[in-house]
Structure 1
Amino acid sequence: MAKQTIQLQLSGMSCAGCAKSIEKALGGVQGVTTVNVNFANEVAAVEGDKLNSEQLVKAVKDAGYDASVIDHQQPEDDSRERAQQIQFYKFLAAAILSLPLLYTMVGHFSWTENIYVPAWLMNPWVQMALATPVQFIIGWQFYRGSYTALRGGAANMDVLVALGTSAAYFYSVYLAASLGDHAAHQGLYFETSAVLITLILLGKWFEARAKGRSSAAIKQLLNLQPKQAVRERQNGETETVDVAKLQVGDIIHIKPGQQIPADSTVVSGSSAVDESMLTGESVPVDKHEGDDLTGATLNKNGFLKAKVRKLGRDSALAQIVKVVEQAQNSKAPIQRLADRVSAIFVPVVLLIAVVTFLVWAFWLDAGNYGKALEAFVAVLVIACPCALGLATPTSIMAGSGRAAQMGVLFKQSDVLEIAHTITTVVLDKTGTITEGKPKLTDLEIDLKGVNGVTEAQLKQAVKATEQQSEHPLAQAVVQGIEVEALEQINDFNAHEGRGVSAKVTLSEQSHILRIGNIRLMREHDIESDAWSKRKDELEQQGKTAMLISWDNQAVGIIAVADTVRDNANAAISKLQQRGLKVVMLTGDNQRTATAIAKQVGIEYVFAEVLPEHKADKVKELQQQGERVAMVGDGINDAPALATAEVGIAMGTGTDVALETADIALMRADLNSIHDALFVSKKTVRNIRQNLFWAFAYNTLGIPVAAAGLLAPWLAGGAMALSSVSVVLNALRLQRLSLNHRD
């Protein structure tokens, strides 16, 4: 049974610990096999059998958070934008109430003691009136989050914030109640709790905005889809309809300058189409009758009529979004370290904070509970592990999103992490190094000593037999032979890696026609030495030569040639300049393979390799210590793609979700391999930068706070700044350009 995947939009998370709690809750739902919660974009990807979306949402809500099912076919939900607005309004209200309290702090420093502070503002009951709404109304989200986490047997950032600010608030209430008006001179901490909550809310607002930008790639892709289309009625008249009302088979009109409403096929007209949103390539592609169009691409200069081919979830754009989301919602191996640290971080911090309070209160400054409280609160706040939880997913989101805009789709985040570590690139020849559209160049026949068939009949039989095959070489033969195909063809067989055969009936007599390489002939004891010299000549020209036999006698030879891609030589040279070993893998004979390899500058060639043995060649390289990326068409090369560390499928922009490949290249351009490795390298470097600074921030910040050298409100500001800085660093990946090719 095929696995089912449901995505949930989450809300209410405060740190990586919340993500772990939600994963645990969803993992307990019947039928769930895998759960990945992305803290950065607040999305849960749930995989399993017979999943019930209502049960999944209920599990999240029972865990103390909120969730809704993501459906890109429905109008876009603006709940995340509303949540950002609410967070901003909370910050604004907290700032208005906290500013007077912040102003009272000027009286605490010798160098600001001459600044006037109204006496009423120093009144402890006025300060408590200002701080209380901030603590319990505006800051209620931290108490709610703490309760949720603790009920689930975990501790998160909300626990640290709620505990720290509550300690400062209630200690101030105690001082106000016991000392009255003299409490202000003793030192109150209402401003500490209020300003702390205000700064954390500011950081959360900045963080939410930055996270929204890091997930902008999917939103941009979705926004590319036009909302309306011009549909042709049966009477020839046209009407403007919503794209959602289109049906497969509808005829649509596309004027110059309009976006193509849906995946379709041109039935009349010609134009140049800008497919840069799909492939990253700015040069428009010429489209004529019979050519496929992709929804959301731009018709540049000609009028087109097209027949709708795919809609909704089946469309190319939907598949792109699916692949990008899949990569963004999966977990890279490097994130496991951060997850393990986050799981034990908060309890350890609580212990350090308690020890800090006791050391200050009973040893370093015995009896000065105010100083001990400040150090206690500062440790709790500075240690919030938000930056650690954001370090990896924000980089993955930004990197995979930018790669998609460049025409490179990473299907899983672990591939994004390991792609830059490969040492060998194996390139399939047909459709990868070459255009994959071979043409018939030679057809020579010699029927001396053969009875019962004419040259014209033999050509008809060859065409009819090759029509049964889906191989690109067979299609080239069919298109190159201009006679009508023979109808009396039976018992067609495709001999994988060797050729084809069929039974031909002429004048009520049956004959066996075989078309293939020397191995096919030898298997049937067919003597073909008379054609060997001509075969060698054709192969030395880089052509693929196939022998023709009629009733166990070699009677002719066919040659086809595939054009090497224009950019193949330069792209392969750049891969080699990166220090990569480039290998060509093909089923062609050694001479043809060597000729093609020489054209593009490849030294290592595996020729005459049957499809089922391509994976073995990949394993050979792996046994030699190489880390292999296999590049092929994703269909014939499926075993090799699956065997390699990284499988890369060449595409044309309409088949972007190949099951066997780890990376889908939407542009049939070998430079895209270079782009994939480039994005991988930059993303991993960005993740390491984020993790380093997140670890360094907490490692250095906790001792400084425990030493009493950091005021709690400064610790709150630093904590907020660390999270925002991690996200902003990840956003640099969105500015990666194709100039790296130069």
Structure 2
Amino acid sequence: MSTRTTVTTDLTVTGMTCAACVGRVEKRLARLDGVHATVNLATGIARVTHPEEIVADDLVRQIESAGYAATPVDEEPAPSATAPDTNAELRRLAVTAALSLPVIVLSMVPAWQFTHWQWLCFVLAAPVVVWSAHPFHAATVRGLRHSSASMDTLVSLGVTASFLWSAYAIFFGGAGEPGMRMPFSFLPSASDGVAHIYLEAAVAVPLFVLLGRALESRARAGTGAALRALADVAPTEVTIRAADGSERTVAPAQLAVDDVFVVRPGERVAADGVVVHGRSAVDASLMTGESKPVEVAPGSAVLGGSVNSGGLVRVRATAVGSETQLARIARLVADAQAGKARAQRVADRVAGGFVPAVLAVAVTVLGFWAGAGADAQAALTAAVAVLVVACPCALGLATPTALLAATGRGAQLGVLISGPQSLEALRQVDTVVLDKTGTLTTGRMTVAHCVVREGGTARAEVLRLAAAAEGPSEHPLGRALVAHVTDLHETLPEAEEFTAVPGHGVVAHVAGRRVEVCAAAAVTGLPPELEKAVSRAEAEALTPVLIRLDGVPEAVVGIGDVVRSGAYRAVDRLRRLGIRPVLATGDVPGTARAVAAELRIEEVHARCTPQDKARLVADLRRQGRRVAVVGDGVNDTVALASADLGIAMGSGTDAAIGAADITLVRRDLAALADAAALARRTLSTIRANLVWAFAYNALMLPPAATGWLNPMVAAAAMSVSSLLVVLNSLRLRAWSPTPRRNHRPAARSLG
């Protein structure tokens, strides 16, 4: 039995104005066999999964048949790509305001109503109804051709009905008589047998709706600021250095893996790579969320898009173009913002049938009042108010604007969220399984502490001589010692007569002194302070290394895979959020217990194979727990994929990142707690938006239907509801993790 190959295509859809439009596009695309579409109102992006034999042109034609325009987007879609011509919008809004405000003021202030004021208002209102409201009328006509209706239909019918009734009142109902006065009220009213004119509603509805859309567009554009910033940080040119020392400037697209390129002070790094020459400080805050520049030296990894804040460095490219971490971040954020949360899918289904229902209600209201003996003016007023007030805009914007803001803010904090479903799952997690090596610990050998003999050589000198002796060595403990001293910008003297003794250590002559660096566990007769240092290192699951100078024991250095900076605070914050930490590692029990004790993790599983970790996750899920797994290695991929939520460290393997739902780009493990807190705040914001969107319609429709709401007030209320939803979502852009005080430091300090 053959299976159909499916592909995913992103399309930019224009002309959508509300959640009903979203539902119509999704339904029209779903008519094609094997096609599934997710359309995001805030971004204007339709993500379509379809069989390989269906091409993009087929999808475009299907969307056009629903009355909208569509074009395939670039490989890297941007949230702002679908924004209409902002200048044209603002011009239309400015002209509408200039024509509408005199009409609204004269209608609201009877004392200013001079002779024939109603005729001036009629002349000013006509271009607003015809030209300013043209986008609504055009969308309504397109919808009628395709037997569909949207928010534009409601606005167009409301404006047209208000203006036509006002024209009737002025020409045939006595409202055009000289000296006619019309008192303004927030409630509909009549004027002593003279037909009421609703020119203020006819101009206020398009004015408020256009103003609301302009503010929404600006606000939604702001939610994509993080992604646009990521797209803008790529340099426009790069200087490649050839093996003979010559240099040439090319476009970044011409850079290849293993090319060596120059990064001068103030320039951006053109691609991911490794420093091969020079020292500097690199600001990678946009990619990792780390606020402080990171010192780099030969052998240090750097990310494309980082800013060189110090001296000149030369970098060998390890990933270029779409394979860089910057490009991967942009893709993940764009993918997340193109997705749709479960709550939004429910809202879209409701909104899809909302507009036809409102039209039915408006017709029913008109017929009811007319049948009940009310005059035509009262019946029309109630019907127009229903059409204007019942806008599903707020419902359609409630979730996507919050997700746009949250995913953008997450990227700024070093948290890459693959989609809305991941955000929802993170909100529900109550247990997190943490890998040790590379997740809770740095994943590399590091000098944890150094204790020197009382009255002996100064610690800095002892370490410098020992590092020089280890310079020619390739042993991980020796390399850790060398890295520690060189990170302190110490210059190492040359080692002479170097000898490596397998299983023991090294011996060398440095600066006229005989230096031995060897394992301390089997050495006896050490001074008491050094004996205690050996015991301390063993208790902390570190390797104790003894340094002798001219045969005299001078220091004991504890070397091992130390706990990441901030790991204790991160784990403690998770506990405060109600999430139980569990340590699962392939390391030996002693090391696992030492790390767990330092981080106060009660449940520990040591010597875990990848299958053991997956079984642990399955057991926890059978207990009813919602489980997240945090890891960084290939051995973590099975557990990452089988958990309710997989979270990968950004420094981990591609396999782990590929299996994860969330990636922590920031090296600080506190990003995990930040992600959990951000998810909870985002879901709370979405719930508040949806409650307001539903409550608005529930509260406003009854007074509109019963004739207790002026159409102009209805238009203002409708626009304000949409604006409030967007502004509430924008608060996520300024969200910051709550700092915690009085936490003990996680990392061991030298001493």
Range class of TM-score, shorter chain: 0.7 to 0.9
Question: What's 1:131 paired with?
Answer: 125
Question: What's 2:377 paired with?
Answer: 370
1:13-58 superposed Cα distances (whole Å, 9 cap, x missing partner): 110111112222333456x643211101211122334363333333
SS in 1 for 2:635: coil
SS in 2 for 1:420: helix
Distance 1:236 1:539, change over 3 A: closer
Distance 1:209 1:96, change over 3 A: same
Amino acid at match of 1:114: A
SS in 1 for 2:382: helix
Distance 2:329 2:656 in 1: 7
1:363-420 superposed Cα distances (whole Å, 9 cap, x missing partner): 3xx3421122112111111110100100000001101110110000110111112312
Question: What's 2:714 paired with?
Answer: 715
Distance 1:738 1:115, change over 3 A: same
Distance 1:684 1:73 in 2: 27
1:27 aligns with 2:30: yes
Whether the 8 Å CA contact 2:406–2:678 is kept in 1: the answer is: yes
Whether the 8 Å CA contact 1:328–1:400 is kept in 2: the answer is: yes
Distance 1:297 1:179, change over 3 A: same
Please state how far the C-alpha of 1:99 moved relative to its aligned partner: 3.3
Point out the more displaced range, 614-623 or 64-73: 64-73
Residue 188 (structure 1) aligned to one of 194, 197, 202: 197
Trace 1:89-100 onto structure 2 (pairs within 5 A): 89-100=91-102
Residue 232 (structure 1) aligned to one of 241, 245, 265: 241
Question: What's 1:703 paired with?
Answer: 702
Amino acid at match of 2:87: Q
Please state how far the C-alpha of 1:212 moved relative to its aligned partner: 0.9
Whether the 8 Å CA contact 2:413–2:666 is kept in 1: the answer is: no
Distance 2:224 2:689 in 1: 17
Distance 1:190 1:236, change over 3 A: same
Whether the 8 Å CA contact 2:208–2:716 is kept in 1: the answer is: yes
Question: What's 1:459 paired with?
Answer: none
Please state how far the C-alpha of 1:483 moved relative to its aligned partner: 7.0
SS in 1 for 2:724: helix
Amino acid at match of 1:414: Q
Question: What's 1:306 paired with?
Answer: 315
Question: What's 2:522 paired with?
Answer: none
Distance 1:574 1:702, change over 3 A: same
Trace 1:332-343 onto structure 2 (pairs within 5 A): 332-343=341-352
Residue 64 (structure 2) aligned to one of 61, 66, 76: 61
1:165 aligns with 2:159: yes
Amino acid at match of 1:143: H
Distance 1:130 1:574, change over 3 A: closer
Whether the 8 Å CA contact 1:438–1:561 is kept in 2: the answer is: yes
Whether the 8 Å CA contact 1:328–1:393 is kept in 2: the answer is: yes
1:265 aligns with 2:267: no
1:158-196 superposed Cα distances (whole Å, 9 cap, x missing partner): 121122222222333444554577477533334422321
SS in 2 for 1:587: coil
Trace 1:203-282 onto structure 2 (pairs within 5 A): 203-232=212-241, 236-282=245-291
SS in 1 for 2:365: helix
Question: What's 1:450 paired with?
Answer: none
Amino acid at match of 2:111: N
Whether the 8 Å CA contact 2:394–2:722 is kept in 1: the answer is: yes
Question: What's 2:674 paired with?
Answer: 675
Amino acid at match of 1:131: A
1:140 aligns with 2:134: yes
SS in 1 for 2:358: helix
Distance 1:348 1:49, change over 3 A: closer
Please state how far the C-alpha of 1:226 moved relative to its aligned partner: 1.9
Q: Aligned Cα RMSD in Å?
A: 3.3
Distance 1:150 1:635, change over 3 A: farther
Question: What's 1:509 paired with?
Answer: none
Whether the 8 Å CA contact 1:656–1:665 is kept in 2: the answer is: no
Whether the 8 Å CA contact 1:278–1:405 is kept in 2: the answer is: yes
Whether the 8 Å CA contact 2:279–2:313 is kept in 1: the answer is: yes
Whether the 8 Å CA contact 2:574–2:673 is kept in 1: the answer is: yes
Distance 1:247 1:718 in 2: 57
Distance 1:96 1:599 in 2: 68
SS in 2 for 1:659: helix
Trace 1:396-407 onto structure 2 (pairs within 5 A): 396-407=403-414
Distance 1:44 1:741, change over 3 A: farther
Whether the 8 Å CA contact 2:288–2:665 is kept in 1: the answer is: yes
Distance 1:654 1:209 in 2: 39
Whether the 8 Å CA contact 1:279–1:653 is kept in 2: the answer is: no
Question: What's 1:122 paired with?
Answer: 118
Distance 2:677 2:499 in 1: 47
Whether the 8 Å CA contact 1:544–1:592 is kept in 2: the answer is: no
Please state how far the C-alpha of 1:699 moved relative to its aligned partner: 0.8
Whether the 8 Å CA contact 2:640–2:656 is kept in 1: the answer is: no
Distance 1:598 1:425 in 2: 17
1:194-232 superposed Cα distances (whole Å, 9 cap, x missing partner): 321222111111111111111222111111222222233
Distance 2:81 2:231 in 1: 17
Residue 387 (structure 2) aligned to one of 380, 385, 389: 380
Question: What's 2:10 paired with?
Answer: 7
Distance 2:732 2:267 in 1: 31
Distance 1:262 1:672, change over 3 A: same
Question: What's 1:685 paired with?
Answer: 684
Distance 1:732 1:127 in 2: 40
Point out the more displaced range, 47-56 or 661-670: 47-56
Distance 2:403 2:301 in 1: 32
1:353 aligns with 2:393: no
Question: What's 1:47 paired with?
Answer: 49
TM norm structure 2: 0.78
1:102-137 superposed Cα distances (whole Å, 9 cap, x missing partner): 34424xxxxx43324242x423xx655443332233
The answer for unaligned runs of 5 or more in structure 2 is 181-193, 449-473, 484-497, 503-534, 545-557, 742-751
TM norm structure 1: 0.79
Distance 1:196 1:618 in 2: 56
Distance 2:634 2:679 in 1: 25
Residue 149 (structure 1) aligned to one of 143, 147, 150: 143
Distance 1:390 1:657, change over 3 A: farther
Question: What's 1:605 paired with?
Answer: 604
Whether the 8 Å CA contact 2:440–2:563 is kept in 1: the answer is: yes
SS in 2 for 1:334: helix
Please state how far the C-alpha of 1:150 moved relative to its aligned partner: 4.2
Distance 1:577 1:672 in 2: 15
Please state how far the C-alpha of 1:562 moved relative to its aligned partner: 2.5
SS in 2 for 1:715: helix
Residue 302 (structure 2) aligned to one of 288, 293, 302: 293
Amino acid at match of 2:11: L
Distance 1:653 1:424 in 2: 21
Distance 1:362 1:414 in 2: 50
Distance 1:77 1:18, change over 3 A: closer
SS in 2 for 1:401: helix
Amino acid at match of 1:84: T
1:392 aligns with 2:399: yes
Amino acid at match of 1:122: Q
Distance 1:73 1:591, change over 3 A: closer
Distance 1:706 1:181 in 2: 25
SS in 1 for 2:541: coil
Identical aligned pairs, as a percentage?
Answer: 39
Whether the 8 Å CA contact 2:385–2:705 is kept in 1: the answer is: yes
Please state how far the C-alpha of 1:82 moved relative to its aligned partner: 5.1
Distance 2:232 2:415 in 1: 19
